[in-house]
């Protein structure tokens, strides 16, 4: 395996903190840096994938975007871990509810992730379909959520290789073993967690439900910003613990 002396997709001179919050969207990374961090500075923008480092409650935190899908997310996670020695990662994103227990606007904390993708097999010959987020980090998030009086659903989600709303994802859901109670679907968590677990780095995923198979209702722009801000605050408060 070839691993070069410096990262390809992140500025090699970037000042990256040991604590990282990862949205998919580069513009969301910019929004978080400008509205939640102090002394935030752009530290990388290769391929337009923004990374910012600043302070939250006196501790250095990096906000690093990872793009869409497991291949993209895995590149940034690996480079953060291998080249910059990151210790904790919380992915923050959006998801679609596939269980009636998850409602529009709910925040979901992933405990385990199911995927039928070959990603992990290609990456490391892993033949399982389930990976587990870091339990210690999840306990911290649940404790912070309780202190903030924030409702958080804690359970199993699924990562797909395709954007669910654009396919008949009932076909995919129907193949998931019945013993797994899946709350929501998205496109990155399985790959991100798998890579972090390989290198013994604490990682997990927080998601806000923005659509659901049970309703045509979607979050308004105002409600979307409010709910995402709650998730962002929960992630930042937890990452610095």
* CATH code for the domain of 136: 3.40.50.1580
Mean pLDDT by runs of 10 across the 241 residues of the chain is 84 97 96 97 98 98 98 98 98 95 95 97 96 98 97 97 87 92 97 98 97 83 79 98 95
**Does 172 map to a domain?**
yes
**Does 8 map to a domain?**
no
pLDDT given for residue 224 in this prediction: 73
Catalytic residue, candidates 45, 106, 211, 223: 211
**Residue 169's domain spans which residues?**
19-239
pLDDT given for residue 169 in this prediction: 82
pLDDT given for residue 2 in this prediction: 64
Task: Please state, in angstroms and as integers, the Cα–Cα distance from residue 149 to each residue in 141, 152, 169, following that order.
Answer: 12, 9, 34
**Does 83 map to a domain?**
yes
Report the 3 state secondary structure along 159-191.
ECCCCHHHCCHHHHHCCCCCCCCEEEEECCHHH
Strands (E), 57-121: 59-64, 88-97, 107-114
Number of compact structural domains in the chain: 1
DSSP conformational letter for 48: G
Q: Give the pair of three-digit tokens for residue 61.
A: 């935190």
Provide φ and ψ at 18, rounded to 5°. -70, -20
What are 56-110's pLDDT values in tens digits? 999 999 999 999 999 999 999 999 999 999 999 999 999 999 999 999 999 999 9
**Does 14 map to a domain?**
no
pTM for this predicted structure:
0.95
What is the DSSP annotation of 132-152?
E--HHHHHHHHHHHHHTT--E
pLDDT given for residue 216 in this prediction: 83
**Does 5 map to a domain?**
no
**Does 41 map to a domain?**
yes
**Does 130 map to a domain?**
yes
SS3 118: coil
SS3 205: strand
pLDDT given for residue 1 in this prediction: 59
**Does 11 map to a domain?**
no
Q: Distance (Å, rounded) from C-alpha 12 to C-alpha 61?
A: 17
- Could you confirm whether 211 is annotated as catalytic? yes
Question: Radius of gyration (Cα) for the chain, nearest Å?
Answer: 17
């Amino acid at each position: 395996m070839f691993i070069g002396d410096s990262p390809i997709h992140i500025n090699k001179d970037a000042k990256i903190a040991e604590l990282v919050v990862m949205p998919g969207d580069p513009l969301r990374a910019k929004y978080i840096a400008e509205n939640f961090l102090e002394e935030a500075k752009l530290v990388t923008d290769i391929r337009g994938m923004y990374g910012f480092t600043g302070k939250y409650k006196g501790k250095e935190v990096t906000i690093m975007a990872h793009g869409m899908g497991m291949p993209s997310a895995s590149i940034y996670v690996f480079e953060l871990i291998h080249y910059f020695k990151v210790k904790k990662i919380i992915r923050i994103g959006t998801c679609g509810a596939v269980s009636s227990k998850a409602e529009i606007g709910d925040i979901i904390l992933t405990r385990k992730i199911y995927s039928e993708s070959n990603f992990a097999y290609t990456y490391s010959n892993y033949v399982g379909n389930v990976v587990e987020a870091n339990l210690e980090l999840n306990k911290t998030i649940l404790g912070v959520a309780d202190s903030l009086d924030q409702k958080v659903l804690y359970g199993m989600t699924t990562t797909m290789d395709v954007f669910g709303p654009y396919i008949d994802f009932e076909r995919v859901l129907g193949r998931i073993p019945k013993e797994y109670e899946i709350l929501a679907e998205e496109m990155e968590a399985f790959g991100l967690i798998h890579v972090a677990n390989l290198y013994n780095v604490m990682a997990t995923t927080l998601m806000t439900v923005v659509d659901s198979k049970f309703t045509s209702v979607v979050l308004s722009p105002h409600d979307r910003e409010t709910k995402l801000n709650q998730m962002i605050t929960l992630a930042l408060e937890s990452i610095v613990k």
